[in-house]
Amino acid sequence: MIDVDVTLKVGSFTLAVTFRNGHGVTALFGQSGSGKSVTLSLIAGLKRPDKGHIVIDGHTLVDTEKGIFVPSYRRRIGVVFQDSYLFPHFSVRQNLLFGRWFAPKNDRKIDFDAVVETLGISRLLDRQPQRLSGGERQRVAIGRALLSCPHLLLFDEPLAALDQNRKLEILPLIEKLRDEFHIPMVYVSHAMEEVVRLASCIVLLEGGQVKAIGNAEEIFGRAATQLSISRLERSSILMMEVGPRDGTYDLTPLNHPSGRIWLISYNGKVGEKVRVLVNATDVAVSLVKPNSLSMQNVLQGTVSGFYTEGPAVMVEIVLLGDGKIFAMISRRAFEDLRLEAGTQVFALFKSTALDENQAALVYPNIV
Ligand SMILES: Nc1ncnc2c1ncn2[C@@H]1O[C@H](COP(=O)(O)OP(=O)(O)OP(=O)(O)O)[C@@H](O)[C@H]1O
């Protein structure tokens, strides 16, 4: 359990952040300057709050009322940054063992071989960091942090410096750590897909304050959150159920009370509940159910809000049954369709909109 309740004034910026979460990943999400790094520094012990407390799994790290301030090196917190900061003159094995050195001998409950195996780095053990790719370096950095048997793992934009393919390799590893090692994690990222995939609790920060706390569906179902993200990255999260694959066309249906979408080359378990990320710029809006269009993904709903941004409009649609989908359309299209709150509509997108990196856009449900 992580319990954070802190205030701090730095220059003209005031941070006042309160959140609690059990095991699993807590994501700090918010625009640049919202206070994510300051919050991490407070948890890591690099800054002292003016007031408040931080308790991790029953260990009080800070309590200003009781005069407790555990210094950073005694906090048992592993940190993974955007840059891996491996020791260049150490081999991978030595870098990993360095992490282990921070774990008290009687508390080395995380096994070296298990970490090496989980992170897939056994063939790299004798290499020097300069002979590793960016993704490999980041795996070693994660392993080093993990081997210190931390009470908490902090991730500060750990994938920001990696290309999309490396990210897709490492994200499942972080998921595995989350599920196998049961260490609470605080994860800072600008990337919605990372946060949606990993976090059971998202703390939305704005101007140093907590604007909202909830799961991904709650946080990213808010139009205000979507508007705070760059237009191209806005996505809706749909909870859907996997149907039986149509082998003739290599298509798998995902069902929702409002309709059905089709995934290309997807082998999900029939009946499994999954979450699908649909980019708002891939979604079109129709007043009638199309029957002569190539687009096969059609979901029925009602316009519940719209937000004009110059020549574009973000349309919020509440889907039949449950959930929301956002569509970015042109203002002209919006006016031509005479859309307004309450208009019955169909949201459409192509199967190929989900094709590229599709596996990364369909996530198991986090319980
Ligand atoms: N030492 C400091 N003195 C004065 N202001 C500071 C100091 N450190 C941070 N700030 C201010 O606090 C605010 C929050 O900074 P912080 O680095 O936590 O933002 P962030 O959400 O992590 O942003 P980014 O996503 O860009 O990393 C910013 O306005 C920043 O300028």
Ligand 1 pocket test, pick from 14, 29, 34, 39 with the greatest ligand atom count within 8 Å of Cβ, gives: 34
**Any ligand 1 atom below 6 A from CB of 34:** yes
The least confident of 31-35, 50-54, 345-349, 355-359 is 355-359
DSSP H helical segments within the chain, as ranges? 36-44, 92-101, 112-119, 134-147, 164-181, 192-198, 216-220, 223-227, 331-336, 358-361
Ligand 1 pocket test, pick from 7, 13, 210, 228 with the greatest ligand atom count within 8 Å of Cβ, gives: 13
User: What's residue 354's pLDDT?
Assistant: 58
Q: What average pLDDT does the segment 328-351 reach? A: 95
The least confident of 61-65, 97-101, 310-314, 338-342 is 97-101
Q: What average pLDDT does the segment 129-151 reach? A: 93
Mean pLDDT, rounded, of the chain: 91
CB neighbours of 121 closer than 8 A, spacing ≥ 6? 92, 136, 139, 140, 143
User: What's residue 359's pLDDT?
Assistant: 46
**Any ligand 1 atom below 6 A from CB of 37:** yes
Mind listing the pLDDT tens digit for each residue in 2-19? 999 999 999 999 999 999
User: What's residue 356's pLDDT?
Assistant: 44
**Any ligand 1 atom below 6 A from CB of 12:** no
**Any ligand 1 atom below 6 A from CB of 304:** no
User: What's residue 75's pLDDT?
Assistant: 93
Residue nearest to atom 24 of ligand 1 (CA): 32
Task: Between 314 and 84, name the one with better pLDDT.
Answer: 314
The least confident of 137-146, 207-216, 357-366 is 357-366
Domains and CATH numbers, the chain: 2-224 (3.40.50.300), 235-364 (2.40.50.100)
| Identity of the highest mean pLDDT range in 5-9, 354-358, 363-367 | 5-9
User: What's residue 178's pLDDT?
Assistant: 86
Quick one: how far is CA 340 from the chain centroid? Answer: 32
Q: What average pLDDT does the segment 148-155 reach? A: 92
- Residues of the chain above pLDDT 70, percent: 95
- Distance from the CA of 190 to the center of ligand 1, in angstroms? 14
CB neighbours of 97 closer than 8 A, spacing ≥ 6? 112, 147
**Any ligand 1 atom below 6 A from CB of 32:** yes
User: What's residue 366's pLDDT?
Assistant: 61
Ligand 1 pocket test, pick from 7, 15, 36 with the greatest ligand atom count within 8 Å of Cβ, gives: 36
Ligand 1 atom at shortest distance from the alpha carbon of 28: 21
- What angle do helix axes 134-147 and 92-101 make, rounded to 10 degrees? 30
Mind listing the pLDDT tens digit for each residue in 202-211? 999 999 999 9
Q: Interface pTM (ipTM) of the complex?
A: 0.96
User: What's residue 110's pLDDT?
Assistant: 87
Ligand 1 pocket test, pick from 38, 82, 194 with the greatest ligand atom count within 8 Å of Cβ, gives: 38
Mind listing the pLDDT tens digit for each residue in 211-262? 999 999 999 999 999 998 888 889 999 999 999 999 998 888 999 999 999 8
Ligand 1 atom at shortest distance from the alpha carbon of 190: 25
Whether residue 360 has pLDDT greater than 50? no
Terminal Cα-to-Cα distance of the chain (whole angstroms): 16
Mind listing the pLDDT tens digit for each residue in 169-209? 888 888 888 888 888 999 999 888 899 989 999 999 999 99
Q: What average pLDDT does the segment 31-35 reach? A: 92
Neighbours of 350 (CB within 10 A): 17
Distance (Å, whole) CA 301 – CA 344: 6
Q: Are strands 284-286 and 297-309 parallel, antiparallel or unpaired?
A: unpaired
